[in-house]
Structure 1
Amino acid sequence: MMNRWLRENKVAMWLLTVLRVYIGLQWIEGGWGKLTGGFDATGFLTGAIANTGGEHPSVQAGWGAFLQNFALPNVELFNVLVPIGEFLVGLGLILGTFTTVAALMGMVMNFAFLFSGTVSTNPYLLLAEIFIVVAGANAGKVGLDRWVLPYLKATLFKKHTKHGGTPTAPAPDHRAA
């Protein structure tokens, strides 16, 4: 019942739009600050790795191993991916373009920050992003998804139709099994 309301209701569509734009502003602000102010994840990663030890570690050993053995040695890659990712998630949510994908990628980053021991606003953003992902296309109807998604659907569907008619079945495979 809640899923249907989120996916089909016009009131939900407008509430999701407000939520989507607010979350998008949070992401774009964080990404823009990192893009223009310089960003180095070394300190963050080092701090998260340090939090894998002690009596009550805030970072689990498996995630700490990933940070130690992959993220920290490739910090230059993360110094580029994090700010651009944050900015693009924000842009997608604000414009309502590929809304579900943008919210999903925001969730991935929120989980990564939470796994690294940073709470901040991440749980709230994560919860809101779940609603956007569950709502699907309804979350982007007041946005560019209103035109982008039908265009993509029509374009991709044309590849499987013959002369604008009904979908054609794939040609049978006559090779011996």
Structure 2
Amino acid sequence: MSTTEATVQWPGRRNEFEHAGPAASYVLVAARLLVGYWFLSSGWGKFAFVAGEPFDAAGYLQNAQSPIAGRFEVVAGTPWLLEVTNVMIPLGEFLIGLGLILGALVRLAAFFGRVLMTLFYLGNADWAHGYVNGDLLGLLLFVIVGVFAAGRILGVDASLERTAFVQRRPRLRYLLG
């Protein structure tokens, strides 16, 4: 197995290390696909035509025992905010998952995945066994997929970044990858 060298600059310190080159790329693609499937299937299962009834976050929001329970209660008690939430959770999960599976707009999808996972982590707040739980690990996976621009490996973003449109607008690369 070939290795690749990398450098990390910490405050006041520079570290060089080797990582597993191509193997790291395969692991990153696998992580992107698994997280994408996780969110795509979660969102899909919440659509009314699949679940048999409309998604309703009111019970979850009203009963959250968390540091942000007050904010959740405001959303649950404000009809238009609750309706937006009831549409955006399934749609957002589905689109985030689709973007990750296709490798399209991966950094944008990972950003919104981090937002949702942060809300889920704080909303569930079942820390009886410590602060590390599935929601926190999901949040970490979204960070990894976004930071390492996983869409550039076997994803649509690799092709999009080579287009003249993106070449003329390099800031778009912050959404891609």
TM-score by length of 1: 0.71
Distance 1:14 1:80 in 2: 34
Gaps of 5+ in 1: 52-58, 158-177
Distance 2:45 2:153 in 1: 29
2:55 aligns to what?
39
Tell whether 2:63 aligns with 1:65.
no
Distance 2:40 2:112 in 1: 13
CA 12–71 in structure 1, closer or farther in 2 if over 3 Å, else same: farther
User: Equivalent residue of 2:97, what SS?
Assistant: helix
The one of 93, 98, 107 equivalent to 2:114 is: 107
Q: Which has the higher strand share?
A: 2
Number of aligned residue pairs: give it.
143
Do 1:110 and 1:123's aligned partners in 2 also have CA atoms closer than 8 Å? yes
Tell whether 2:137 aligns with 1:132.
no
AA partner of residue 124 (structure 2): G
CA 145–139 in structure 1, closer or farther in 2 if over 3 Å, else same: closer
Do 1:103 and 1:132's aligned partners in 2 also have CA atoms closer than 8 Å? yes
Matches within 5 A, 1:6-85: 9-35=21-47, 36-37=50-51, 38-48=54-64, 51=65, 59-60=66-67, 63-73=68-78, 74-85=81-92
2:130 aligns to what?
none
Distance 2:7 2:46 in 1: 37
Shift of residue 68, structure 1, vs aligned partner: 1.9
Over 3 Å off, 4+ runs: 1-5
Higher relative contact order (CA 8 A, sep 6+): 1
1:43-63 C-alpha deviation (Å, 9 max, x unpaired):
111111xx2xxxxxxx11xx2
* Structure number with larger C-alpha Rg: 1
Bigger shift: residues 35-44 or 67-76: 67-76
CA RMSD of the aligned region, Å?
A: 2.4
TM-score by length of 2: 0.71
Tell whether 2:165 aligns with 1:149.
no
1:135-172 C-alpha deviation (Å, 9 max, x unpaired):
12x54321101111222422426xxxxxxxxxxxxxxx
AA partner of residue 43 (structure 1): G
User: Equivalent residue of 2:148, what SS?
Assistant: helix
- What is the identity percentage for the equivalent residue pairs of Structure 1 and Structure 2? 28
